[in-house]
Amino acid sequence: MSSGNAVASDILGPGTSNLYNVIDRDNVHGLNLSVPEDAKEVIKPWDQREETSKYAESGVDDQIIIHVPFSQNVRLKSVLLKLGRGEAAPQHLRIYANHPNIIDFSEAESTKPQLDISLLEGETRVIEYPLRVAAFASINSLSLFFSESPSSLTRIYYIGFKGDVRELKKEANASMDVPAANAADAALFDRLQEKGGAQQTTAR
């Protein structure tokens, strides 16, 4: 059933492409969870991806939002999910990128997500969902909105990500853009480089 979508455990080893180490796990949180602290429980090391004793499940209805901040900017290539089965399996996922605080349910309805997909049904293992890298090229946080379970219960066992860290040292060579956090430092560097120049052209 899932032959077209590679099963994550077949393609992803414990290499640098697993972004678990750059997830700010202490600040992972969720909306509409029966136990709010359980949002962190679904962020597991790769070798615990199939473990089912820890999970997050919905409270009032089938909708859950999990907010995942990263400790560094990352470029995402795919999201890895192990979800509840049967009545507890969400069938829809929307992902919102770079919202500093968790996007809420009302905001989600009026905000365009970076990803809006139907989830595979009947899967028991971790499944990899590829992302459009252009839409997820510089990410510091994600809000994942799961919905449309057959019942009023949604359960999530594992959320992981595949991609790479955007190294700051590489930014100096790529004359693309200066990250906002380093804009002041860049302006100072430009000033030193242009010392003695007649005009300061650094944009503010």
Tell me the pLDDT tens digit for each residue of 40-80: 999 999 999 999 999 999 999 999 999 999 999 999 999 99
Distances (CA, A) of 201 to 58, 101, 134, 188, 198: 53, 34, 30, 12, 10
In the chain, the percentage of residues whose pLDDT exceeds 70 is 74
Predicted confidence band at 102 (pLDDT cuts at 50, 70, 90)? confident
Low-confidence winner among 20-24, 45-49, 105-109, 161-165 (lowest mean pLDDT):
105-109
Higher pLDDT, 189 or 113: 113
Q: Which of 48-52, 101-105, 191-195 has the highest mean pLDDT?
A: 48-52
Higher pLDDT, 184 or 108: 108
Q: What confidence score (pLDDT) does residue 7 get?
A: 39
> What tokens were used for 108?
């989600």
Low-confidence winner among 49-58, 71-80, 110-119, 194-203 (lowest mean pLDDT):
194-203
Judged against a pLDDT cut of 70, whether residue 180 lies above it is answered with no
Query: Can you tell me whether residue 203 is helix, strand or coil?
Result: coil
Averaged pLDDT, 172-179? 47
- Whole-prediction pTM value? 0.74
Q: What confidence score (pLDDT) does residue 103 get?
A: 87
Mean pLDDT of the chain: 81
Region for 13 from its dihedrals, namely left if φ exceeds 0, alpha if ψ lies in -120 to 50, beta otherwise:
beta
- Tell me the C-alpha distance between 29 and 45, whole Å: 17
Q: What confidence score (pLDDT) does residue 12 get?
A: 42
Q: What confidence score (pLDDT) does residue 39 get?
A: 97
